[in-house]
Amino acid sequence: MYLMREIAARIPFQMTDPEGISYDNSHWSGTLKPFPNYEIWDEKIVIDDDIWGRVEIGQEEGDGVFLELVAHPLMRRLHSIAQLTLPPFMETMPGIYSTSGDHGFTRWHHAWGSLAFVRKKGTELGIEPRTLRRLELTALLSDATQWLGSHLGDFMFEGFGGSESEHDKVQKQVFEKVRLAEVLERHGFSLDEVLLSSLPDGFGWVEESSPALCTDRVDYGARQIAKHLLLTSDVEQAIRPEAFVVDPATGELLMTGERLARAFTKAFLILPTEHWGEPVHRLQLHLLQEAAKHLFVHQEPMMFDIFRSAYVNPQDFMHSIDGDITTRFGISNAFIWAIKDISAEIGRQKRLINQTVRQSELQQYLLDDTATELPDPLVSKNSIHRKRHSLLPPNLEIIEVEDVSEIPDFKNNPLTVDFELPSLKRRWIRPRYIADDGTIKDIAEEDPAIMSLLLHQEQLLNKKYVARVLVNSDYKKILENGLRENHDHWPELMASPRMPDDIFRANFERAADFGVPHRMAQILWAR
């Protein structure tokens, strides 16, 4: 048995802005932790989750498959795969638990959280045990083949601004390489049954395309809302299991009232505009993927030290753990040092701005049921804030463009290094809910303010930008040379031979072996 306890204490809520203006905090609860505690025994797994409640695995028919999977490399590796891609020093959003960025919102949390949600909702529906275990397996394993840094691999292999779905395309291939089928077959399941592409009709509540609600979208949304936002009482109620119900006739995931649907929608909609697709965050993602590419160009990821061979295709090594990239930031070449120096300072400044300036504006937005626009990621509406604070770090300019040709000296300014920031994948929801009269209604059709917010979110996320990072001549030379190397050598790396399955499996298992101790070290360090 081992016990995982997420070590973090919520910072007392102080609604005071930098000018000393106090706000009423009576609407705010601040009680939910986004990360569960786990007890893992030989005969059971206990998930003690503030979001979905307590779930025990081990007593139900078919639970043996989860008791075996919890120790499988597929799951152990997820301890050290960030849900939100950026390492803490690059993160742009402070957490409620820490002002220093993301302390370990991992794919492990999301995987077991998704299983917990499916178990709760499937039990309510009375789904027969084998079918429910199958759905739970699909939810648990849906992101088990994510690259290190999660969508980092999608950016690297599809191009920045792509569909961010490359990890889904390789799901079956990776499952086969790590011999997942052997585990499943011992418990009466086939590999094809648990694939996302094999989800039976009528179970869209487990996985569905936007803007419909589904287990995946609800779990990661709820956890990030709890991690990054101070919760109103309505929002807190909207990220609890009682706020969701599955329509047994259609398999649609619904919310249990208009008020909860409105609260969840409003909170979810600002996650992309303030975080995932926010312009400074886009820049940080761009810098990270350029740093990662450079490590491969120079054959420097940690796993190269362990498995030096002719097989250097990045698609194989990106199934390691985050530390194989981030540990190289401190011991690598001048380009990586430059990326670290610049991105760390941008992250620090942006987290500070969000903590001291932006949080109060987001709080006001959540409380205003009549709001028809989301906060603009580049503009503060507070006149005091506009006088003393920009929403941008001092060494960074973000310019909205339709095309880079609008900037005459793009990539030719002697004082800046310029990056094109396309729009990223839009993540959004449009919940349907059960009204007081028992009918099913669409929150956007019933609430014109929500419809306006949806339209405004689309407008904001579709914007394209150019980021201009102010640097001295030495940094400019180093960065431009490194970016040129990436551009010239990346195609040949992607065309290099792929690993044989046995080498891939050894690499994957070694990464998983590092995963749990690395995660435990993270928890203790955060403490």
Q: In this structure, are residues 140 and 207 in contact, taking their beta carbons and an 8 Å threshold?
A: no
Residue 304 has pLDDT above 70, yes or no: no
DSSP assigned state of 14: -
Alpha helices in 198-310 (DSSP H): 215-228, 233-238, 258-271, 279-297, 302-306
Distances (CA, A) of 127 to 248, 289, 470: 10, 43, 58
- In a 13 Å sphere around the CA of 66, the CA atoms on its Cβ side amount to 32
How confident is the model over 145-179, as pLDDT tens digits?
A: 999 999 999 999 999 999 999 999 999 999 999 99
Say how many C-beta atoms besides its own lie within 10 A of residue 193's C-beta: 16
- CA gap 345, 332 in Å, rounded: 18
Q: What angle do CA 402, 288, 106 make, to 5 degrees?
A: 115
Task: Reduce the DSSP state of residue 79 to 3 states and report it.
Answer: helix
Flag whether 296 is in a domain: yes
- Which pLDDT score is estimated for 527? 33
- CA gap 206, 196 in Å, rounded: 9
How confident is the model over 36-85, as pLDDT tens digits?
A: 999 999 999 999 999 999 999 999 999 999 999 999 999 999 999 999 99
Say how many C-beta atoms besides its own lie within 10 A of residue 474's C-beta: 10
Phi-psi region of 245 (alpha: psi -120 to 50; beta: other; left: phi over 0): beta
The one-letter amino acid at 273: T
Q: What is the mean pLDDT of the segment spanning 207-216?
A: 96
How confident is the model over 453-485, as pLDDT tens digits?
A: 999 999 999 999 999 999 999 999 999 999 999
The one-letter amino acid at 254: L
Q: What is the mean pLDDT of the segment spanning 205-218?
A: 97
What percent of the chain is modeled with pLDDT above 70?
A: 87
Q: In this structure, are residues 4 and 108 in contact, taking their beta carbons and an 8 Å threshold?
A: no
Flag whether 70 is in a domain: yes
Residue with the larger pLDDT of the pair 359 and 122: 122
pLDDT level of residue 332 (50, 70, 90 thresholds): confident
- CA gap 323, 272 in Å, rounded: 26
Flag whether 278 is in a domain: yes
DSSP 472-487: -HHHHHHHHHHHHHHH
Identify any residues that bridge with 417 across adjacent strands, giving them in sequence order.
469
Helix (H) or strand (E) holding 56: strand 53-57
Closest by alpha carbon to 269, among 107, 110, 443, 88? 443
Flag whether 255 is in a domain: yes
Range scoring the smallest mean pLDDT among 316-320, 404-408, 475-479: 316-320
Say how many C-beta atoms besides its own lie within 10 A of residue 166's C-beta: 18
Query: How many domains, in total, are found in the chain?
Result: 1
Residue 284 has pLDDT above 60, yes or no: yes
What average pLDDT does the chain have? 89
Flag whether 526 is in a domain: no
Flag whether 487 is in a domain: yes
Range scoring the smallest mean pLDDT among 269-278, 324-333, 408-417: 324-333
Flag whether 22 is in a domain: yes
- The pair phi, psi for residue 387, each rounded to 5°, is -75, -35
Q: What is the mean pLDDT of the segment spanning 324-328?
A: 86
How confident is the model over 361-402, as pLDDT tens digits?
A: 999 999 999 999 999 999 987 766 666 668 999 999 999 999
Predicted structure pTM score: 0.91
Q: What is the mean pLDDT of the segment spanning 337-353?
A: 95
CATH number at residue 141: 1.10.3210.10
Residue 235 has pLDDT above 50, yes or no: yes
Please state the separation of Cα 524 from the chain's center in Å. Answer: 22
- CA gap 262, 70 in Å, rounded: 36
Flag whether 289 is in a domain: yes
- Which pLDDT score is estimated for 346? 97
Q: In this structure, are residues 237 and 243 in contact, taking their beta carbons and an 8 Å threshold?
A: yes
Say how many C-beta atoms besides its own lie within 10 A of residue 438's C-beta: 6
State how beta strands 45-49 and 440-442 pair. Answer: unpaired
- CA gap 175, 189 in Å, rounded: 14
End-to-end Cα separation, the chain, in angstroms: 22
Total residues belonging to the chain:
527
Residue 434 has pLDDT above 70, yes or no: yes
Say how many C-beta atoms besides its own lie within 10 A of residue 131's C-beta: 14
Tell me the residue range of the domain where 433 lies. 2-519
Q: In this structure, are residues 360 and 23 in contact, taking their beta carbons and an 8 Å threshold?
A: yes
